[in-house]
């Protein structure tokens, strides 16, 4: 009770101040009268009139310094009277301060009669440059401000196309209006009642805690995906080892009968054991006729693996499955699409997954070869958002596997449906992500690249990439990777040449994006389209080299070397000799025979079974068990890999999943 009495006067004063601020006049009179009757003292609060007068004077001084171009006076007042919590923590204040620095940097260029004083201009530019390297560096990853980081290095900004808007008559008055509104808001906020300030600070603390927890969750999910990819890689190596072991046992039995093992056979077995290109090249370089060579290599390369059998999954009745997918309820369709997808994504890489996929393909699960008016593929246009999304996820899972892509690419029917869904889908982000993911994987195949270019998909991609901050990480990464794959074709470059300024602006903005996963694809697209003379000419006119050199100062070693290649391409007059181009020969696909199943395929499931409701593998094996519908895997010969240095921009089509897991491109 004593603690309450000690602070009672201050608490009552806070209540009185708030009632006065909110203009509760009758309530305030009653409150004050009752406090007086009960003998409760009211703490005196500072009057607002004095503060209001002082605030107006400060605002006037700031605007006067703005108009006169007095940089030193302005920023002294700014730092003294605008709270550091707002200057450093409020995005609106940070953006305004950035533009204010630009205003003072170019003030002499806009207001001098004749040529501006060189020494004073250099001093202002130097001040702006120091700001960019210190406090302004925080905005270097923001697309809106990226071009202005080249301003201090441009000899004559007034004629540079990137800075055209700064020298328009309307720019300074608009900035002044923003400044006046900001100052009015800030100084009004300084008169905010203390009670309201306490409430806001408490809420901000909770918000920061939630943001921190969310960031931890994102990091945990990212680590989980990394571990899942490692697990899948280990599983694939394990199954490969099982197969080779069985062959070696057969060979040992043959030697008992007197049959000799040739060095060529031993070499082929060892090549199968080495999973990546580096190990393959090592296997080719070793002399297997020397005793002990092969065993030494294997012991050095293979970690001990605990062997266990992976059974094949039960066969299914695909006729019944397809019938229910077409004619069943939306809920049943969603559960079936989910279960069929899980069969692919959770099966063990190797024989088990290959058998599942071959069963799907041989039974034409998606009705890719059907001419019926109602087919499984038509679920992409279902009225149910859940069914549309789950169908898109399943198609994306198919496209994640080389044989699945071959099945889907038999005709352009699937491609056309996906393109239509991509452009129509605006309700469900995950549906669009999976449709885009499937199309990006399709772009490994040349005939489908050609069709997408002819359908104008490049223009659609450029349009959505104008606002990258509005896109999810998955959509952004796969959009840029798809754009790069299409730009590697001469037809794609020619499409870009129709709107070179727009394409170059989008790609240069993406160079500074905070999502660093997209940078190899941005670099690859830039390098490719700069082989067109008209695009090089446009890039030089917009000062692309200055923009690129800004990133050389900030990027890592690999990024720097790639940008140096791009600058070299920008300044060239013709294609370098010996550069491999992705031409228009349709007889050869660009893809490697690699499979990459992403964890994103199963994220954020929309449906959960109710009590007694079947789902997943249990639904399939209980209601749709079949007889002998599994078929053997017919292996397709993979293409020889084309090797490029990581220092160079990408020049062959890739998928983000394959690029991250280190498959040769």
More confident residue, 490 or 44: 490
Q: How many Å separate Cα 287 from the centre of its chain?
A: 45
Please give the Cα distance from 234 to 240 (Å, whole number).
Answer: 10
Phi, psi dihedrals of residue 258, rounded to the nearest 5°: 95, 10
Q: 625 φ, ψ to 5°?
A: -70, 135
Residues with Cβ within 8 Å of 149's Cβ and at least 6 positions away in sequence, in order, are: 132, 140, 550
In 3D space, the residue among 540, 461, 524 whose CA is nearest the CA of residue 495 turns out to be: 461
Judge whether 392 and 439 are in contact, CB under 8 Å: no
- pLDDT bin (cut points 50, 70, 90) of residue 630 is low
Angle at 84 between CA 81 and CA 85, to 5 degrees: 125
The band of 305, judged by pLDDT with boundaries at 50, 70 and 90, is very low
Q: If we measure between CA atoms, which residue out of 451, 386, 464, 450 comes closest to residue 422?
A: 464
d(CA 486, CA 490): 9
Once rounded to an integer, what is the mean pLDDT over residues 597-617? 86
pLDDT of 130 higher than 80: yes
What's the pLDDT score for residue 100? 93
Instruction: Tell me what the mean pLDDT of segment 256-260 comes to.
Output: 78
Q: How many helices and strands in the chain, by DSSP H and E?
A: 31, 0
Least confident span in 163-172, 201-210, 314-323: 201-210
The β-bridge partners of 625 are: 316
| Nearest-angstrom CA–CA distance, 348 and 309 | 11
Q: What distance in Å separates the CA atoms of residue 201 and residue 538, rounded to the nearest whole number?
A: 50
Query: For the chain, first and last CA: distance in Å?
Result: 75
314 phi and psi, to 5 degrees?
-60, 150
How many Å apart are CA 177 and CA 84, to the nearest integer? 22
CB 409 within 8 A of CB 368: no
- Non-local (6+) Cβ contacts of 272 within 8 A are 240, 243, 244
Q: Which helix (H) or strand (E) holds 337?
A: helix 330-346
d(CA 636, CA 525) in angstroms, rounded, equals 30
Q: How far is CA 528 from CA 187, 332, 476, 518, 648, in A?
A: 52, 47, 20, 16, 12
Helix (H/G/I), strand (E/B), else coil: 496: helix
Contact 650, 520 (CB under 8 A): yes
**Contact status, residue 651 vs residue 582, Cβ threshold 8 Å:** yes
Mean pLDDT score across all residues of the chain: 80
Mean pLDDT of the region 410-418: 88
Contact 356, 394 (CB under 8 A): no
Confidence (pLDDT) at 21: 74
Residue range 26-39, pLDDT digits in tens: 888 888 888 888 88
The set of residues, in sequence order, having a beta carbon less than 8 Å from that of 571 and lying 6+ positions away, is 545
Model confidence over 560-588: pLDDT tens digits? 888 888 888 888 876 544 444 445 554 44
How many percent of the chain have pLDDT more than 70?
Answer: 80
Q: Which residues pair with 316 in a beta bridge?
A: 625
**DSSP H stretches of helix in 530-556:** 533-541, 544-552
pLDDT in tens, 18-74: 887 778 888 888 888 888 888 877 765 544 444 566 778 888 999 999 999 999 999
């Amino acid at each position: 009770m004593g603690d309450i009495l000690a602070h009672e006067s201050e608490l009552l004063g806070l209540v009185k101040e708030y009632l006065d601020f909110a203009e509760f006049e009758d309530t305030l009179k009653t409150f004050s009268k009752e406090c007086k009757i009960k003998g409760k003292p009211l703490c005196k609060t500072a009057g607002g009139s004095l503060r209001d007068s002082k605030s107006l004077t400060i605002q006037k001084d700031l605007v006067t310094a703005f108009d006169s171009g007095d940089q030193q006076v302005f920023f002294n007042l700014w730092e003294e009277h605008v709270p550091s919590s707002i200057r450093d923590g409020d995005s609106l204040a940070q953006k305004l301060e950035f533009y204010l620095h630009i205003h003072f940097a170019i003030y002499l260029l806009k207001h001098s009669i004749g040529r501006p004083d060189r020494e004073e201009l250099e001093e202002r530019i130097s001040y702006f440059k120091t700001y960019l390297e210190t406090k302004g560096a925080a905005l270097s990853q923001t697309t809106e401000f990226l071009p202005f980081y080249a301003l201090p290095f441009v000899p004559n900004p007034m004629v540079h196309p990137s800075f055209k808007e700064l020298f328009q008559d309307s720019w300074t008055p608009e900035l002044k209006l923003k400044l006046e509104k900001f100052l009015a808001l800030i100084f009004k906020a300084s008169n905010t009642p203390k009670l309201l300030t306490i409430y806001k600070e408490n809420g901000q603390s909770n918000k920061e805690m939630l943001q921190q927890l969310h960031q931890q969750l994102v990091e945990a999910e990212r680590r989980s995906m990394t571990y899942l990819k490692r697990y899948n890689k280990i599983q694939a190596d394990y199954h490969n080892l099982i197969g080779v072991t069985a062959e070696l046992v057969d060979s040992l039995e043959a030697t008992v009968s007197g049959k000799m093992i040739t060095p060529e056979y031993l070499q082929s077995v060892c090549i199968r054991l080495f999973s990546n290109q580096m190990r393959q090249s090592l296997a080719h370089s070793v002399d297997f006729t020397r005793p002990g060579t092969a065993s030494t290599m294997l012991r050095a390369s293979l970690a001990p693996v605990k062997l266990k059998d992976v059974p094949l999954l039960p066969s299914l009745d695909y006729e019944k499955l397809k019938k229910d997918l077409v004619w069943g309820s939306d809920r049943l369709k969603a559960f079936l699409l989910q279960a069929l997808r899980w069969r692919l994504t959770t099966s063990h890489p190797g024989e088990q997954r290959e058998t599942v996929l071959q069963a799907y393909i041989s039974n034409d699960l998606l009705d890719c070869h059907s001419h019926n008016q109602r087919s499984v593929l038509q679920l992409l246009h279902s009225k149910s958002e859940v069914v549309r999304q789950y169908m898109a996820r399943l198609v994306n899972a198919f496209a994640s596997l080389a044989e699945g892509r071959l099945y889907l690419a038999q005709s352009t029917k699937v491609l056309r449906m996906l393109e239509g869904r991509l452009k129509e889908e605006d309700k469900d982000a995950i549906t669009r992500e999976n449709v885009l993911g499937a199309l990006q994987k399709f772009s490994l195949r040349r005939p489908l690249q050609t069709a997408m270019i002819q359908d104008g998909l490049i223009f659609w991609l450029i349009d959505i990439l104008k606002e990258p901050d509005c896109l999810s990480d998955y959509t952004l990464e796969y959009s840029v990777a798809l754009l790069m794959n299409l730009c590697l074709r001469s037809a794609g470059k020619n499409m870009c040449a129709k709107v070179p300024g727009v394409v170059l602006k989008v790609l240069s903005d993406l160079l500074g994006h905070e999502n660093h996963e997209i940078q190899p694809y941005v670099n690859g697209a830039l390098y490719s389209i700069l082989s067109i003379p008209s695009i090089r000419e446009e890039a030089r006119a917009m000062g692309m080299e200055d923009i690129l050199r800004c990133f050389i100062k900030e990027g890592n070693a690999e990024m720097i070397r790639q940008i140096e290649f791009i600058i070299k391409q920008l300044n060239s007059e013709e294609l370098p000799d010996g550069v491999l181009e992705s031409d228009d020969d349709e007889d050869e696909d660009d893809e490697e025979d690699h499979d990459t199943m992403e964890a994103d395929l199963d994220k954020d499931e929309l449906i959960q079974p109710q009590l007694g409701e079947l789902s997943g593998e249990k639904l399939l094996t209980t209601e749709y068990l079949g007889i002998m519908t599994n078929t053997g895997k017919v292996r397709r010969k993979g293409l020889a890999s084309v090797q490029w240095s990581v220092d160079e921009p990408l020049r062959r089509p890739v998928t983000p999943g394959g690029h991250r897991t280190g498959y040769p491109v």
